[in-house]
Structure formats: C-alpha cells, structure tokens
Amino acid sequence: MTREERASHAADDAAVAVSPLPREVSPLPRYEVGRLGRSVLDAVGTVLVGKRDALELVLAGILAGGHVLLEDLPGLGKTLAARSFAQALGLEFRRLQFTPDLLPADVTGSFLYDQRTHDFTFRPGPVFTNLLLADEINRTPPKTQAALLEAMQEKQVSVEGTTYRLTAPFHVLATANPIEYEGTYPLPEAQLDRFLLRVSFGYPDAEEEWSVLRRRMARRQEESFLEPVVDPATLLAMQAAMEDIVVEDSVGRYIVALAAATRAHGQVLVGASPRGSLALLLLSRARAALAGRDYAIPEDVKAVAVPALAHRITLRPEMWLRRVDPTYVVNEVLEKTPAPATAALPSYAVPGPAAGAVPAAGAVPATGAAPAGGAAPADGTRPRHAASRDTEPAVDVYRYTAPPRS
C-alpha cells in the first residue's frame, strides 16, 4: 500500500485527532478577564506558595496565546505549576518526559498497522491535548525537540503528508534544568524563540518554605487537586479579549526601541528579533488585562521585558568568560531607553458604530495617570477617556486625531 493510500484510508480513523478551524469567539469584558485571571492565580497560589509574580507571568503567556519555558533548578515546582494551571483552567493535560531515546513519532503520533482492519491507522501522540508539559525538554536530541516546532507555531502536526490541526486552546509549558549539562541538548536559538517567555521561580524564603511544609501536613497526601475556575471555552474568550486592549503609539514605539537597543548593544552578538517585539506587545496587553485595565502602560512593558527578551539574546563569546548574563543586558537597555509619557490614544483605527472620540491633549506620567481634568485612580486603572467605560455605549475610541495647533 502506498503512502498516499495509507493517508487516505487513515483520514476517517484519525478524525478524533483532527480539530476544525476555530470559530469566532466572543471576547469577555475587560473586568471579567481580570476577575477570572485573579481567581486562577489565587487557586494556583494555594499550591505554589509565594510565587505570585512568576505565576502571573505564566498566566500572561497563556492569555497571550503563547508557550512558556520554565527554567529553574530541580524541586522548585515547575512541573507542579504546569499541572496546577491545567487544573485551574479546566484544560486537558498531558505530560511528556523527554529522554535521550525519545523519537519524534513519540511526540506527534504515527501510523500503525491494524491487523483487524488490515489497514494503517493514525495514533495521535501526546501533543494532541490542550496543555502539554514537555518535561526536561533539554534531555532529548534536537530532532525530537524540533518535532514541537510546527505544533507550537502553526497549531498543527504533519505526519506522513497529512496535516492534523490541534484543538484550541493549545499551549506548551516546557521545563529545563540549567545545571547538569551532561547528557543534555541545549535548545537551539530557533526553538527558544518560539517560547513567548522564559520564567524562573527561584528559592522560597524561610516563611514560604515553612508554609509549604505546613500545607503538606494539612493536606495529608502528596498530590494536590484544584477545582476548575474556567473551562476551555472561557479561556478562549479571555484570550479573544486581549485584542481589545489598547496600546498607544508611543508605548508601541517604546517596545520597538527596546528590541532595537538589544541589537545595538556592544555585548550582544544577536539581539531580539521582531518576534521579540511582538512578544513584548502581547505580554504587556495580557498583564494590563490581569490588572483590570483595557490599555497598556510602559510599566507593563518593563515588567515583561526580561522574561520576553532575555532568552532571545545571544551574547558575544567573550562575555561568557566575564559571566555576563542576558538578563543584565535587558536591564541595562531598560535603564537607558526613556519611557514615554502621553495621554494620546492609538492612531490605528478599529471599526466602530460611531465617530471617533478625541482625547484631551497633554502629557501625563507613564504610570497610567489620566490626562488633565481628572485624576487617575491610585491603582492605575483606566484613564477616564470619553466613552471608555464598559457600561457606556460602544464607540470607536481608538481613532486619535491631533488637536489643532494654536
């Protein structure tokens, strides 16, 4: 039987592995995204103690539709974090332990001969899930690591000339151990670039570590289980709401300036690509949504700059002898690149039922304060632009027109 015949006969049998193209998803209101996001973080925080900032970065990566690389020392909760997020988000979860003898077919699936039907049928691999934990991804050879590239970028898998779409939402949370390099295969830059951000948890302090022990004794069992806070459909609606987060022009140009500064840095051989700029944009919008805002501010960009850019930077060889870390380069770029301060709305237009509204002119601090005429809330929530509340009639507030000069 030829390859084409096998693929044709297996199409019906593999229907379970094929997901239709995603339908249009109605986004949730901004305040609902923030509320549900905080509930998810609260639930996961009952299992992982004292890691709220790192967990918020992981959730921001998921809301932005990306994949997360958890790189840290053994025993700091990387695997537990992935399983806890899958439970809290109500996602189908599979764990794949990457080993030196793992083959690409063990990840994507393969055609197997069925003696009952005398035909080849497709058996989907672990990648056909909602949240895949690629545990110790740097312990498998590059050809097996590359088996994830198409799934991570295109949300599909190609086997024997047949393409199978993955069910949305689909996210990869990969773990890597930065020590014990014997028998490991460092991820190539091309695959590191596919991860939206890289997160590390770090060691807990004394009180947090004691809280871990105390909760383990109160639980009276090793495993911990979380009740779902949302379901896959709700998560898709939360992700769709990210498109409603406003990014003003000066904030967008600030993102571009940060990425460009990494390329011009004297200690950098290869700087962040435009994919890094896009990662900053997506993560800053997600962080704004988790904060209950429908607009991004420079502080959102600064908070996600190191996780989004550090793993995309290749230092010059002599920098390794000086023990210079890419994180240092990103922090230096943040210090030297001036942050914008503006009250303007974006210049890009979004179709709306009414004419565009013109915001008040004048500069404001970069902390998200409102323009002149109204003080911003202390928590940095939303500036009171015209028709900007969720409860008010929908108008096109995204089209900005510069006021006439006197």
Same domain, yes or no: 119 and 57? yes
> Is the per-residue pLDDT at 67 higher than 90?
yes
Residue 360 lies in a domain: no
> Is the per-residue pLDDT at 344 higher than 70?
no
Domain harbouring 53, CATH code: 3.40.50.300
Q: Please state the rounded mean pLDDT for residues 117-127.
A: 91
Residue 90's alpha-carbon distances to 45, 68, 83, 234, 318, in angstroms, are 16, 18, 11, 9, 47
**Confidence category of residue 402, pLDDT binned at 50, 70, 90:** very low
Q: What's the pLDDT score for residue 397?
A: 35
Per residue in 309-343, pLDDT tens?
999 998 888 887 777 889 999 999 999 999 998 66
Q: What's the pLDDT score for residue 384?
A: 38
Residue 154 lies in a domain: yes
CA–CA gap between residue 172 and residue 134 (Å, rounded): 7
Out of 70-84, 96-110, 177-191, least confident range? 177-191
Using the 3D structure, point to which of 336, 366, 394 is the last residue of a domain. Answer: 336
CA–CA gap between residue 353 and residue 359 (Å, rounded): 18
Using the 3D structure, point to which of 286, 304, 336 is the last residue of a domain. Answer: 336
Same domain, yes or no: 165 and 111? yes
Residue 1 lies in a domain: no
Q: Please state the rounded mean pLDDT for residues 376-381.
A: 42
Same domain, yes or no: 231 and 114? yes
Number of domains in the chain: 2
Out of 61-70, 277-286, 353-362, least confident range? 353-362
Same domain, yes or no: 301 and 205? no
Contact between 396 and 357 (Cβ < 8 Å) = yes
Tokens matching residue 297: 């501010």
User: What's the predicted TM-score (pTM) here?
Assistant: 0.79
Q: For residue 208, give the H/E element and its range.
A: helix 206-219
Domain region containing 57: 27-218+227-235
Please, what is the angle between helix 298-309 and helix 249-264, to 10°? 30
Same domain, yes or no: 86 and 203? yes
Domain harbouring 268, CATH code: 1.10.8.80
DSSP for 350-398, please give it: ---SSPPPPPPPS---TTTPPPTTSPPPTT------TT-STTSPP----
Same domain, yes or no: 126 and 255? no
Residue 348 lies in a domain: no
β-pairing, 162-165 vs 156-159, is antiparallel
**Confidence category of residue 349, pLDDT binned at 50, 70, 90:** low
Using the 3D structure, point to which of 310, 336, 362 is the last residue of a domain. Answer: 336
Q: Please state the rounded mean pLDDT for residues 238-250.
A: 94
Q: Please state the rounded mean pLDDT for residues 353-365.
A: 38
